[in-house]
Structure 1
Amino acid sequence: MKDHSLAVRLLLNIGHAIDHMFLLIFAASVGVIAQDFGIANWEDLMPYGAGAFLLFGIGSIPAGRLGDLWGRRQMMVVFFIGMGVSALIVAAVPNAWAMGAALALMGAFASIYHPVGVPMLVQSAAKPGAVIGINGLAGNLGVALAAMLTGFLVKWLGWRAAFAVPACLSLICGVLFLRFCPHEIASPAKRKSAVSVKLPANMLARVLLVVTTAAVAGSILFNFTTNGNSQLMIERFKGVIDDPATLGVLLAAIYVIASLTQVVVGRLVDRFPVKPIFLGIVLCQIPFVAFAAQAQGWWMFVAMLGVMVFTFGAVPFTDVLIVRYVDDRVRSRVAGIRLAVSLGISSAAVWLLGPVVKQMGFSALFTIMTVVAVLTALVVLMLPSEPKAQNA
């Protein structure tokens, strides 16, 4: 199968950045939005964003099914246009309940990318680990943009512009994708395909169980950190740096540096067995998360850099394992089911973030995250030890 053109690959990677960026604009601007809506504490507004992450998860099942059976090109066009339109709706809402509904709509469109865009990107890749690593870098640069760009847009133009300006970018990308991505000859489900390593059914089931369980834990850490870091930095840097825009730049720097880990991980898994690398990354999360529970000021910067390096570094493994062991004809559907479970459950992290911090503080939150990291390491130990896949 011929690989995608440079323009299509670029747009698919930009799509990953858009996916993560849009979902975190609310978290990056929640304090200002709460004031605008007359809500005293940002923690009380944060649960209204949980619907976006719930639909981000459960929407992956129909998105993956449509991607395999209808076509990935068509679904990516729906993704770009839908994200742009829903972000414009969020920018226009008058109150918290309307905000929650509009964010949920955005989450439904956001659910398309991972089960459709990632399989589309790697379906003909000779080195899928490297491709997934670069794609992960793009996605996490979107996280960084959410922290940095939102801070400046809120400061200069208000929180509504923080949604409206990126919305225009997504709509432009949708038009460009229509222009540069050729029509598919057949949907993925109707194409002849193969996987690089075939496993017995019981072993494949074990791999998918471990992948899904580890993805749930990883998504909980990802949601707690990326949705809470903006307010965490404000609290822990109080008296050191008090300008939200400057703190947004610092947080963006953490995300950019941490994102490079995914490129390294992607190249490593193309050359070496997955299990020891995955386990090593997860084990490294534990001391940094525990340190972040108490760190203040610039030590908090060091702690969060470590947390995000190893949180982001763990992200590519689930996609790598699915690409390695699951046939492309059903890959979007398998990814959709995995995402629905992991993201659906982890959406509770977004809903609980505000109440947990309000009642117990960030220190208790990071203690909970330390326990999650330990449990994740135990789950990864169950992953079968397999030699490196030889890609076809």
Structure 2
Amino acid sequence: MSQVIRPNPPRTVIHFINAAHVIDHMFMLIFPAAVLGMTQAFAMDYAQLIGLSLGGFIAFGACSLPAGWLGDRWSRRHMMLLFFFGIGAASIITGLSTSTSMLAVGMTLVGVFAAIYHPVGTAMLVAYAQNRGREIGVNGMWGNLGVAFSALLTGFLVAQFGWRSAFILPGCASILIGLMFALKVKDEPIPARAHTKPESQSGQRISMVMVFSVLAIATAAGGVVFNATTMTYPKLFQDRLHDLFASPQTLGLIVSLAYAFGAVAQLTIGRFLDRFSLKWPFVILTVCQAPFLFALAYVDSWPVMLLGAGFMFVVFGQVTVNDAMVANFVAPQWQSRVFALRYFLSFGASATAIPLIAYVEPHQGLAGLYVILAGFAALTFAAALAFPRTPAENPEIQPA
């Protein structure tokens, strides 16, 4: 008598995908937070040390293409196992570094394995989700909390146990979660889901060239802004709030709260994406970015916290909208590859933030950097204006 193989429970899969999103963003931003406590150990200043992460961010973008292809053609479950184990081991290697060369290699390996999550994990999430907009928002919230945890947890571990613990302990946790994923989630075909080509509100077929051109511009420009701000927030807050908060733990908490405010955006925006045209949240979220960045270039003290939290709200909200574009416009069997292309553009462009920071910060400070980023944000807003107005995917859905 043959045994009936039960499919994976969707909620179980989604819980692990959300955990992976936390790990992905947290591990990529451990180094920018820990570097403030590593300058003496390696006898290098901030700008020199931060440049060592360039290989990791290049790999974060470049490796997303083969990761997406393997996710669609081989196995999304196996690729996620490789993610959990690989990024955990790479983080441990980074924490054991005794030279700048080993540190650079460790950070590059973190980027290689971190590249797996977005094309594979996001496609896996969309395949198992019932309400895609809501689940993308919830998943984005967890990714944002990973960004927040990177500053909070890293600040605590560096202060209490030294900078090495900030890499080694999270690495061990990732491997443990990978073992649980291996036991709970089995390999199975991509769940079938009907897909129809979207039309505009007037009933005309939407130009996919226009859609993906807008997405490409927003992804590339937004990638530079996102990476440069998340990497420099610890230093921005340290420089502007030094009279108010001196300890690394307190500064880490303040930075984490600013990042966590973006989680509110992703959860809120995600609950409404299926009920409205994607164009309007896209426009509203991007029109605010350049003014926030320009203000952050010059303000000091308490306003930095308020503006910093506000900017995180709009920039993380935009990420949720852009993921929903791929979910709504691309057939399921192609989603890993298209998500891979989106994140290849995003993280490939975001890698330019590293040399940009290393060059601009010593010469013009963070004020000069944030003025430049405001220009990139204005380009993202222009792309949002060109995005076609589409009907809501599920206008009858009520927010949960």
| TM-score range normalised by the length of the shorter chain | over 0.9
- Aligned partners of 1:22, 1:226: CA distance in 2, in Å? 13
160-169 vs 332-341, which moves further: 332-341
Match of 1:237 among 237, 241, 251: 241
Residue-by-residue CA offset, 1:164-210 (whole Å, 9 max, x unaligned): 110111001100001111221x3x4xx75432544699711221121
* Residue 7 in structure 1 maps to residue 12 in structure 2: yes
Residue-by-residue CA offset, 1:61-92 (whole Å, 9 max, x unaligned): 00000000111111100000001100010011
- Aligned partners of 2:386, 2:372: CA distance in 1, in Å? 22
- Aligned partners of 2:243, 2:94: CA distance in 1, in Å? 33
Task: Output aligned runs, 1:224-263, within 5 Å.
Answer: 224-263=228-267
| 2:3 matched residue in structure 1 | none
CA contact (8 A) 1:49 1:351 kept: no
- Aligned partners of 2:220, 2:355: CA distance in 1, in Å? 15
Residues 106 and 201 of structure 1: CA distance in aligned 2, closer, same or farther (over 3 Å): farther
- Aligned partners of 1:348, 1:257: CA distance in 2, in Å? 26
Match of 2:21 among 12, 16, 20: 16
| 2:328 matched residue in structure 1 | 324
Paired-residue identity, %: 35
Letter in structure 2 aligned against 1:182: K
- Aligned partners of 2:366, 2:326: CA distance in 1, in Å? 34
* Residue 283 in structure 1 maps to residue 287 in structure 2: yes
- Aligned partners of 2:37, 2:198: CA distance in 1, in Å? 52
Letter in structure 2 aligned against 1:152: F
- Aligned partners of 2:143, 2:196: CA distance in 1, in Å? 25
TM-score (norm 1): 0.95
Residue-by-residue CA offset, 1:221-244 (whole Å, 9 max, x unaligned): 110111001011111112221111
| 1:293 matched residue in structure 2 | 297
| 1:87 matched residue in structure 2 | 91
344-353 vs 135-144, which moves further: 344-353
Match of 1:54 among 58, 77, 102: 58
- Aligned partners of 2:371, 2:258: CA distance in 1, in Å? 21
Q: Secondary structure at the match of 2:30?
A: helix
Aligned residues: 387
CA contact (8 A) 2:88 2:174 kept: yes
- Aligned partners of 1:107, 1:28: CA distance in 2, in Å? 16
Task: Output aligned runs, 1:1-392, within 5 Å.
Answer: 4-39=9-44, 41-184=45-188, 186=189, 188=190, 193-198=193-198, 203-390=207-394
CA contact (8 A) 2:75 2:187 kept: no
Unaligned runs of 5+ in 2: 1-5, 396-400
236-245 vs 169-178, which moves further: 236-245
Taking only aligned residues, the RMSD between alpha carbons, in angstroms, comes to 1.8
308-317 vs 345-354, which moves further: 345-354
- Aligned partners of 2:197, 2:159: CA distance in 1, in Å? 51
Question: Which aligned runs of 4 or more in structure 1 are off by greater than 6 angstroms?
Answer: none
Residues 312 and 7 of structure 1: CA distance in aligned 2, closer, same or farther (over 3 Å): same
